[in-house]
Amino acid sequence: FRTAAASKPFLGICLGMQALMSHSEENSGTEGLGIIPGNVRHFDQAAAQGLKVPHMGWNQVSQRPHPLWQNISDDSRFYFVHSYYVDPQTEQSIAGVSDYSLKFASAVTRDNVFAVQFHPEKSQHAGLQLLKNFLDWDGQS
C-alpha cells in the first residue's frame, strides 16, 4: 500500500482517506499509515449540536486548487457517509473543505496522493468527473 502510494497516482475514498492519516480516535485509538500527517476525529461536536452522526447525505465541498477538481464547479455537492473526519497537520494538505457543525477537510492531497471523505461513485456528475480526472491525472499537482 505504501509503495503504491509513493510511486503512482493514488486515490483514497472515505475510509481510504482516513487510513492515510497518522492516527485515528476510532476503537480507542488506531495508528494509520502516516502518508498524510494528521488525525482522524469523531464528530462529537456535531452530535452535541443535535446533528445526526453519521453525517449522511449531500454536502458542498469548497475546493482548493488541484487538477482533480478540473471541470467541477466550486461548492459542488457530493454524497457523504461518515462518523469521523480528518484533521491534517498542515493546511497545504487540504484540497477541499466542507461544513458539518465545524469546517473539516473533505479532500486532502500530498504529492501523487489525493483522497476524499465523500463517495464520488455516488455523487452523480461531479463525482464521475472527479473519477475521470483521476484516471487522466499524472500524479502531479
Residues forming beta bridges with residue 103, ordered by sequence position: 99
pLDDT in tens, 56-109: 999 999 999 999 999 999 999 999 999 999 999 999 999 999 999 899 999 999
- Is 80 exceeded by the pLDDT of residue 49? yes
Mean pLDDT over each residue of the chain, to the nearest integer: 94
Residue 26 annotated among the catalytic residues of the structure: no
- Is 80 exceeded by the pLDDT of residue 4? no
pLDDT in tens, 91-106: 999 999 999 989 999 9
Residue 121 annotated among the catalytic residues of the structure: yes
Residue with cell 480528518: 86
Under 8 Å between Cβ of 41 and 25: yes
**Residues sharing a CB contact under 8 Å with residue 132, sequence separation 6 or more, in sequence order:** none
**pLDDT of amino acid 47:** 78
Considering the candidates 23, 25, 121, 125, report the single residue annotated as catalytic. 121
* Full-model pTM: 0.92
3 state DSSP class of 27: helix
* Mean pLDDT score, 9-36: 95
Cα 43 from Cα 120, distance rounded (Å): 21
* Mean pLDDT score, 123-132: 98
Residue 14 annotated among the catalytic residues of the structure: yes
Considering the candidates 14, 25, 42, 66, report the single residue annotated as catalytic. 14
What single string gives the DSSP state of each residue in 62-110?
EE-S-GGGTT--TTEEEEEEESEEEEESSGGGEEEEEESSSEEEEEEEE
Considering the candidates 23, 42, 66, 119, report the single residue annotated as catalytic. 119
If you compute the radius of gyration of the chain from its CA atoms, what whole number of angstroms results? Answer: 14
Domains within the chain, CATH numbers bracketed: 2-136 (3.40.50.880)
**pLDDT of amino acid 50:** 84
